[in-house]
Amino acid sequence: MTSLTPTKACVPCRLRKTKCDAVTAGIPCGGCVSRNCADKCTIVTRKRRRRPGETVDGTGAAASTVVLSRQRLNTTTDTPQAQPPPPPPPPPPPPPPTASLAWSHSPEGSSRQAGAAAAAAAAAASDKRPPQSQLHYFHILKEAVDDGALDEKDDKTGTPFDPDDDAQPWHKAPLLDDADRDYLNKKRVFDLPPKPCIITFLASYFATQDPYSPVIDKAGFVRDFEAGTGSLFLLYAILAATSIYVPRGTISACGFADAAEAQATFAARATAIHDVQVESDALAFLQGSLLMTKVLPEQAVDKDFNYWFYNALRLATKLQLYSQADGNAGLYSRIAWVLYGRHVFHLISEFRNAAYLHGLPVMEAPKMSDWPAEKIPREYQEVVPPTAAADKALFLATCKLSAIFGEMLSSIVQEPRVDLAQLIRPLDLWRTSLAAQLQLGHQSPTTSIHHLDLLGTSYRYEATLCRLIQRQLRSVDPPRSGAAKARLRSAMLELDGITGRLLVNGMMEKVTISLMTTVPALLALHLEAALDPEESALVRSMARISITRAMLALDLLREVPAIKKAIPLFELILSRKGLYDRPTAGPRLESPSGGDGVTQRSPAAELQDAPAGESFDLFLQEFLEDDGLGKWDFGQVDFSRLV
């Protein structure tokens, strides 16, 4: 006789891979009660094996599956008492597979890595609607929304992006248990800024950042966002990455004192969503991770831009972006090239994992046809404008720059004593034709922010590479080391000119974060030249002039979190060396207390504790090799990595 006492987990808990107390507490178990799904808490026993020659009739098949009573068993004693079984209902249908979301969303893994997908599968098992034709993460995302939220999509009134319609949901309702919901509530994840502010953020993102990294399908974003099924993680990633570009009034309307506080808050909320594994849409998770690589907070965080970048690489591998040939091939191709460009510049900045470039598949150069016809209604286009031909040309030029630096990096890794003139010739040709590539027409390149941005980025990374080559070959090949040093000085002069044009045209605060962080890197190079006893008096004097201009540019970028913490450091060192008069009424660097009651020390304090003889050289190296200015450990860099 089959025992009616539960001996294993119930069906919902087995799907969610969570601990079940049905054996001791009875049916429904405590987990199903806390998740408000007690009516689905069932125990399915194995069917009795048939003996050879035994026939199966309807009665036997129905009796082979026994479902326990939904009434909670008597728990007054240590041993649960069995209840009389009710008439057996038909066996529940098998749960749909969830293989597409089986991977963890974080490198350290989590016991809840498949929680959201399994809960969606349990809801789909009891859904009466027709089954989907194929299992895809988009369908799983939709199943994660309850029937009421899905029905609201067809009942919407109001205008697109209506800032006065506060009752309209702008993101999907995540399927959470009580513990996760309490955690996200404490992090204020569901406290979105006012809708007029969100509209300003979105308009700023698609105007300033999307042309350089078109990783979002605009038409699909508009549909999902207005229907209330957009990704909350992606939305917070957009808010965090765009905080430094929106007007100060918008930041104040969101309740923040400055852009640094807004960016840190939005980034922390996106991280909280990632930590509880809420995001079930792998593509949105990849897009948001790419945007989070542009977030360079003022204070150090556990999940920095390097973490999000390698997380995006892992997700891209899982989605097989390099081998897609369906309707999303154009979008996937753009994402793959953005990933490639970010990785190349990371390698140039930190010069590690260069072997990764040899393992990449051969990617076809991007084309204008990678953008499908974008059917964006006219009423939406003020916020999400269609991609213009100039924006497409900008991205194509950016991809060509990434490919050139990738080839340069591979050549240096294989042969550090490479002919520098031959190595940089493709880069010089790219710069010569950049104005034509961007389709500037009659516009002067000196007034085009896109032209200055790409040109400045190219000279910044050329200077970094040439400095590495010059220092590596200084003792083993002086002629080639001297050629690299001359090329470095030329790149620095070009960066001085670009910085001056940006200042004169009032465009310094509108460039990409990569070019913003070029200013402290350029200042570090001029500091090195001004204090180098081997340099001529003319070079040292010119470096002093360039230092003043670079400090002026830094002052304009004072509100940018990645720059904000660098200014007091530069003022301290320059005043010590007699190269700059430190302002007496300048803003003081305040170090907010970190988590768990630990107070973070300012970088200036760390610099004062470092040995005087070596701290300055390490300080320069920190700016040159860390694109995000996120590490202040002043660790010695081993230049033998070039060999």
Annotate 131-164 with b (16+ C-beta within 10 A) or e (fewer). eeeebebbbbbbbbbeeeebeeeeeeeeebbeee
Please write the tens of the pLDDT for every residue from 498-550: 999 999 999 998 898 888 988 988 998 898 888 888 888 998 899 999 998 99
Mean of per-residue pLDDT scores for the chain: 72
Q: 282-286, 490-494, 611-615: lowest mean pLDDT where? A: 611-615
How far, in Å, CA of 559 to CA of 175, rounded? 37
pLDDT given for residue 63 in this prediction: 38
Please write the tens of the pLDDT for every residue from 354-409: 555 555 556 778 888 878 888 888 888 889 999 999 999 999 999 999 999 988 88
Q: How confident is the model at residue 204 (pLDDT cuts 50, 70, 90)?
A: very high
Please write the tens of the pLDDT for every residue from 224-259: 877 778 889 999 999 999 999 999 999 999 999 999
pLDDT given for residue 66 in this prediction: 33
pLDDT given for residue 477 in this prediction: 87
Residue type present at position 442: H
3-state DSSP assignment of residue 386: coil
**Rg of the chain's alpha carbons, rounded to an integer?**
29
Is the per-residue pLDDT at 199 higher than 50?
yes
Q: How confident is the model at residue 587 (pLDDT cuts 50, 70, 90)?
A: very low
**CB burial class (10 A; 0-12, 13-18, 19+) of residue 125?**
middle
- Mean of pLDDT values over 147-160: 35
Q: How confident is the model at residue 80 (pLDDT cuts 50, 70, 90)?
A: very low
Q: 204-208, 431-435, 508-512: lowest mean pLDDT where? A: 508-512
Is the per-residue pLDDT at 195 higher than 80?
yes
- Mean of pLDDT values over 564-571: 84
How far, in Å, CA of 589 to CA of 578, rounded? 21
- Say what the pTM is: 0.66
Two tokens, residue 450: 């896109």
pLDDT given for residue 65 in this prediction: 37
pLDDT given for residue 393 in this prediction: 94
- Mean of pLDDT values over 617-642: 39
Q: Which of 176, 187, 185 is nearest to 34 (CA)?
A: 176
